[in-house]
């Protein structure tokens, strides 16, 4: 780690002094001004709510060029990974830095499939939830609860314990997510079947019922796998930063991942896929699109086009391109002529020609088409973000591990500019 090179100096004139700050260059992306020593040397902090200009770590996992619409995992473009690879291979890549050899991949796949079952007592947790609980509420609770079953994972200084924790999390997430779905619909839990692929096994755990024979559909399993790949990691977004921040105190890895799940839930982040499909359904028909475009542009209306815009991408989100193709494949396979897909395509066309969206560089993001596919596969909208969390678990684990192995890692502790009351003396209640 710590391979960013100093390539220059930035000078900051402040309070009559000139402070020199190192300028660092990574392999790709803009240079950064290293302000680590600013407080010690100049007695000032930087202020950046929402972290729009702030890097929080050095990372070798994922690179995004938001202007060009590029996403690389360990150097490999997402389009190539989605076309040629599988989710478990991408998981290995994210965790280990290199694509696996055949024997490495066999070993990794075997490890993951050996850990797909949940501790039987985990099933009791579900009974405590209302039947209509939001799946993300259940996921936040049950992922955190798993930390009680694996106390050994608390020892983050042991690389074997860390590895086991990541394998278990990746292996158990589909089982947990499928149980959440089954609990909502009131069907019996289906246990994992380890001779199936990761995606096939997940679909079977969700949609098989004891009364009928279940056959996996290879086209749907491939689409599911692709959706998992497209969501596997996305550098320092809100949920990943949450996992890193929670983990920086030495918290249990399952608890840190549960914090990531909580952060993912919101409609500005992972919850956008659910919100987007609800919005497309509300629009309902192509002739109502202009009304919703007008609302999205109206400063006095809080409505936003869900599935549009991104903090980093100021161009087409490359994941959205793959997602659009996959949506067409899945709907064709299922023989569905979904009016929602027509609304989505037309909305995209109109928005991309509109000055407001052009000026603000607002393009479809990964969530714009994913809901259409998941809906066609039979998932209720409330499950969409759970599937995102399932796939993002490997990204969270990779990022958490990178942070733990980084010798410069310290507990995350941002500062503030205080604008509350100045020092004042306490007044007895009777005198107030
Ligand atoms: N519809 C209409 N206007 C928008 C939209 C949108 N979807 N997104 C941004 N804007 C406008 C916004 O009103 C603001 O205008 P102005 O400069 O006049 O105040 C400008 O564009 C910049 O927006 P911002 O909110 O300052 O940008 P941000 O980087 O803080 O937010 C975002 C990024 C993704 C939260 C935002 O674009 C958004 O709310 N999009 C809809 C939700 C969504 O699709 N989220 C999924 C993101 S991708 C997957 C993930 O991260 O989980």
How many angstroms is it from 315 CA to the middle of ligand 1?
Answer: 13
How many angstroms is it from 65 CA to the middle of ligand 1?
Answer: 18
230 close to ligand 1 (CB < 6 Angstrom): no
List the structure tokens of 243: 């996992």
Residue nearest to atom 52 of ligand 1 (CA): 269
310 close to ligand 1 (CB < 6 Angstrom): yes
State which residues of the chain have pLDDT below 70. 1-2
What's the mean pLDDT when you consider all of the chain?
Answer: 95
343 close to ligand 1 (CB < 6 Angstrom): no
pLDDT at 154: 94
Question: Rounded to 5 degrees, what are φ and ψ at 127?
Answer: -60, -20
How many angstroms is it from 36 CA to the middle of ligand 1?
Answer: 30
From residue 426, how far is each of 419, 430, 432 by CA, in Å? 19, 12, 10
Residue spans of alpha helices (H) in 1-134: 38-42, 78-84, 87-96, 102-113, 122-127
End-to-end C-alpha distance for the chain, whole angstroms: 57
pLDDT at 271: 87
Catalytic residues: 310, 367
69 close to ligand 1 (CB < 6 Angstrom): no
270 close to ligand 1 (CB < 6 Angstrom): yes
pLDDT at 2: 59
pTM for the model: 0.93
How many angstroms is it from 309 CA to the middle of ligand 1?
Answer: 5
- Of 296, 305, 319, nearest to 267 by C-alpha is 305
311 close to ligand 1 (CB < 6 Angstrom): yes
pLDDT at 1: 61
Residues 6+ apart with CB under 8 A from 202: 174, 177, 178, 224, 390
295 close to ligand 1 (CB < 6 Angstrom): no
How many angstroms is it from 310 CA to the middle of ligand 1?
Answer: 6
Q: Can you spell out the DSSP letters for 354-409?
A: SHHHHHTT--B-THHHHHHHHHHHT--GGGHHHHHHHHHHHHHHHHHHHHHH-TT-
Ligand 1 atom closest to Cα of 365?
48
Of 49, 52, 309, which is best to mutate to test ligand 1, by the most ligand atoms within 8 angstroms of its C-beta? Answer: 309
Torsion of CA 124, 128, 134, 138, to 10 degrees: -40
């Amino acid at each position: 780690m710590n391979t960013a090179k100093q390539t220059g100096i930035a000078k900051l004139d402040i309070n009559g002094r000139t402070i020199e700050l190192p300028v660092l260059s990574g392999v790709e992306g803009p240079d950064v001004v290293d302000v680590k020593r600013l407080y010690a040397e100049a007695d000032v902090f930087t202020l950046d709510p929402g972290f729009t200009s702030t890097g929080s770590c050095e990372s070798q996992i994922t690179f995004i060029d938001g202007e060009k619409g590029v996403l690389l995992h360990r150097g490999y473009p997402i389009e190539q990974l989605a076309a040629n690879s599988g989710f478990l291979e991408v998981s290995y890549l994210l965790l280990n830095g290199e694509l696996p050899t055949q024997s490495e991949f066999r070993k990794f796949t075997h490890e993951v499939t050996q850990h797909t079952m949940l501790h039987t007592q985990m099933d009791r947790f579900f009974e405590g939830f209302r039947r209509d609980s939001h799946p993300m509420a259940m996921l936040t609770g049950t992922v955190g609860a798993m930390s009680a079953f694996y106390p050994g994972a608390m020892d983050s200084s042991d690389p074997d314990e860390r590895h086991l924790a990541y394998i278990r999390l990746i292996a158990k997430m589909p089982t947990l997510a499928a149980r959440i779905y089954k609990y909502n619909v009131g069907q019996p839990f289906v246990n994992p079947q380890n001779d199936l692929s990761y995606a096939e096994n997940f679909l079977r755990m969700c949609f098989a019922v004891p009364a009928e024979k279940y056959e996996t559909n290879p086209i749907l399993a491939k689409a599911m796998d692709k959706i998992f790949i497209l969501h596997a990691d996305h550098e320092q977004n809100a949920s990943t930063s949450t996992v890193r921040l929670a983990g920086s105190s030495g918290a249990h890895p399952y608890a840190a991942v549960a914090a990531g799940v909580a952060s993912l839930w919101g409609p500005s982040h992972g919850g956008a896929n659910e919100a987007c499909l609800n919005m497309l359904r509300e629009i309902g028909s192509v002739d109502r699109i202009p009304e919703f475009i007008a609302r999205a542009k109206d400063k006095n209306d809080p409505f936003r086009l869900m599935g549009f815009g991104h903090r980093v991408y100021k161009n087409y989100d490359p994941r959205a391109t793959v997602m659009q193709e996959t949506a067409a494949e899945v709907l064709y396979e299922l023989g569905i002529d979904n009016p929602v897909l027509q609304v989505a395509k037309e909305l995209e066309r109109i928005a991309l020609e509109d000055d407001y969206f052009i000026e603000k560089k607002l393009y479809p993001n990964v969530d714009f088409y994913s809901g259409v596919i998941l809906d066609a596969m039979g998932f209720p909208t409330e499950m969409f973000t759970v599937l995102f969390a399932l796939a993002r678990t490997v990204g969270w684990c990779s990022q958490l591990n990178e942070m733990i192995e980084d010798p410069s890692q310290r507990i995350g502790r941002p500062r503030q500019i205080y604008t509350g009351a100045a020092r004042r003396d306490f007044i007895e209640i009777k005198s107030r």
